[in-house]
Amino acid sequence: MDVNEYFVRGNTVLDARAIEEAVYPFLGPQKALADIEGARDALQKVYQERGYQSVFVELPEQKVEDGIVYLQVSETKVGRVRVVGAKHYSPVEIRDQVPALKEGEVPDFATVQSQLAGLNRGAGRQVMPLVREGQRPGTMDVDLQVEDQNPGTPASA
């Protein structure tokens, strides 16, 4: 079959150029299902490389007409972020230091990891994210689990 275009539905985080670069090698005449699956896999890889581990690319069942193949993107967004266990540090301040976990947005986990590393460099505080399925469909809820000491207490040796 001839594949003239990939139409990607559901994407909100990648620009058109990134999508085009991923699927371009899989366009052309006489393409097989393996080529179309290759386009899906290549696009999935771009999401993963950019830190979007909660995004999945699917090849829905379809009849290819006029050389157009549809790919469906499912983006899991942050539903709710809670700070749990903070005794000596402000939960609001902790949440504000991880802006990549913004409610209603698709998280870039590479950025989340970097922000958490910065947060954990502070003495007497360790923050670990616990991710679970969100209360609303298509979301994930994140608990920022905090183990902290009073800032005035010296760290144990």
* CATH (domain of 98): 3.10.20.310
Is there a single domain that holds both residue 88 and residue 132? yes
Q: What mean pLDDT comes out for the span 17-46? A: 97
Nearest CA to 101 out of 117, 112, 116, 85 is that of 112
pLDDT of residue 123: 73
Q: What mean pLDDT comes out for the span 2-11? A: 97
Q: Look at residue 154 and tell me if it is in a domain.
A: no
What tokens were used for 112?
């989340």
pLDDT of residue 149: 81
Is there a single domain that holds both residue 67 and residue 113? no
pLDDT of residue 157: 46
Q: Mark which of 53, 75, 97 sits at the end of a domain.
A: 75
122 pLDDT higher than 80: no
Sequence-distant (6+) residues with CB within 8 A of 118 are: 97
Per-chain mean pLDDT for the chain: 93
Q: Look at residue 36 and tell me if it is in a domain.
A: yes
Q: Look at residue 156 and tell me if it is in a domain.
A: no
Structural domains of the chain, count = 2
26 pLDDT higher than 80: yes
pLDDT of residue 89: 86
How far, in Å, CA of 20 to CA of 33, rounded? Answer: 19
Tell me which of 5-9, 27-31, 49-53, 86-90 is least confident. Answer: 86-90
pLDDT of residue 153: 58
pLDDT of residue 150: 77
